[in-house]
Amino acid sequence: MANIIVIGMQWGDEGKGKIVDLLTEFADVVVRFQGGNNAGHTVVVGQETFILHLIPSGALHPDKKCVIGNGVVVDPRVLLEEIDELQKRGYFKNENQLLISEDAHLIMPYHRRIDVAREQMKGEGKIGTTGRGIGPAYEDKVAREGIRVGDLLEETIFREKLKTNLSVKNPFLEACLHENGFDLEEIFREYLGYAHQLKKYVGQTSAFLERQMKQGRHILFEGAQGTQLDVDHGTYPFVTSSNTVAGGACTGAGIGPTKITEVIGVSKAYTTRVGGGPFPTELKDEIGQKIRERGREFGATTGRPRRCGWLDIPLLRDALRLNGLTGIALTKMDVLSEFEIIKICTSYKYQGQRIEEVPSSVKAMQECEPLYEEFPGWKTELKDIRNFEDLPPRAKDYVRHVEELTDAEVILVSVGERREETILRRNPFRHTPQRRFS
């Protein structure tokens, strides 16, 4: 039995969807444990491209169970559209393949409207929210005012909670945000329709996962976003509204931490982020533009162009510490294949001093100057390479230097967007690490 968490080491968009899809071959169950449809995982299978927002990336394997855990906030309309789209394309035909936690919270129409209106009011202080209602849904959850999937299946309870919430949300929308309120009956009818369609998928996911573990099943836990977007440990306030670090898998799926066997962090061979916030290695020149074009760095959910820069080692060390990583999956190595010189940020210069850790203050991080090491590029396409030893010497040196700088094992190197364009150096479901990395 192996229970493995896959999380992002940067600001999201690291290629977790591909890594989860790849590792799902060796798993029995795939669990999404936090976030909402603000995350978009892109998976390429053959000539087909899939962008998954709520359903775990394991959905493209017909014999795998997919679980949406209690830590996820669910927009039922988006979820049903995603199921319908997958079924039209020949996937997800077995209804037993999906299980949704009855304790997961719902995104309501007023959450989306509040999200967009508040972001617009911030002007230049925008944090870059996707406007999907994620933050307001988590706010209601913490305030003990949220509506859960299980509530949706009880008409009386759902109506009462919706009535109570609208008595607060409508005056707030109208008086503070200058937006229209909502009609109770309209939302009630709409969401009852969702309830009838989703009822067959709903259950006690925590108890299900415990049974699977007792039966020796392999479980893969899929995180959304990345470590630096964690609401507690990221570049606050330019973060998401949930815990994106590995510890969130335990609370968001309902399992104990002693059940986890490995934590794999996914990092690009360079760095990107979407939205506002500090980004020490950001390249606002033709090099950054070239990385964006070669890597097709545009948000899977929003289509927004991603900010691009060189690999940031202090950022990776931060992720290693916060997640207790046992290995790194290094993605998009192929994007760097055309560069004469490649840089890696090994530390920062802040107020005249060299520092090797990410400052907790956003202001301090904005003032950090990256200190780089330079490496000669390999100038060779990598997409057809499947064994690490067949990589160009300079590409192997790059990977090994990342290992040295982070004191972590790179278990996987992605050399293209397709599932098969991958060098798997160690399969975490079959081989445990030689040593634990800090």
- Please give the positions annotated as active site: 13, 41
Q: Using N-to-C axis directions, what is the helix angle for 184-198 and 155-175, rounded to 10°?
A: 140
DSSP-assigned states of every residue in 80-134: HHHHHHHHHTT----GGGEEEETTPEEP-HHHHHHHHHHHHHTGGG-----SSSH
**Are 205 and 67 a contacting pair, CB within 8 Å?**
yes
Contacts of 180 (CB under 8 A, 6+ apart): 173, 174
Residue in the block written with tokens 């304790």:
103
Half-sphere exposure of 90 (CA within 13 A, CB side): 2
User: Quick one: DSSP state of residue 62?
Assistant: T
Please state, as a whole number, how many other Cβ atoms lie within 10 Å of the Cβ of residue 254.
21
Task: Provide the β-strand partners of residue 13.
Answer: none
Dist. CA 320–CA 314, nearest whole Å: 10
Q: Which of 309, 225, 321, 299 is nearest to 266 (CA)?
A: 225
Kindly give the pairing relationship between strand 422-424 and strand 410-414: antiparallel
Dist. CA 5–CA 2, nearest whole Å: 10
Dist. CA 144–CA 134, nearest whole Å: 16
Strands of 300-431, DSSP E: 307-309, 311-312, 327-331, 341-350, 353-355, 369-376, 410-414, 422-424
Residues in the chain: 438
Dist. CA 155–CA 281, nearest whole Å: 52
φ/ψ (deg, to 5) at 375:
-135, 145
Amino acid identity of residue 285, one-letter, is: D
Give CA separation, 42 vs 8, 126, 221, 277, in Å: 14, 26, 17, 24
Give CA separation, 21 vs 58, 148, 176, in Å: 5, 28, 44
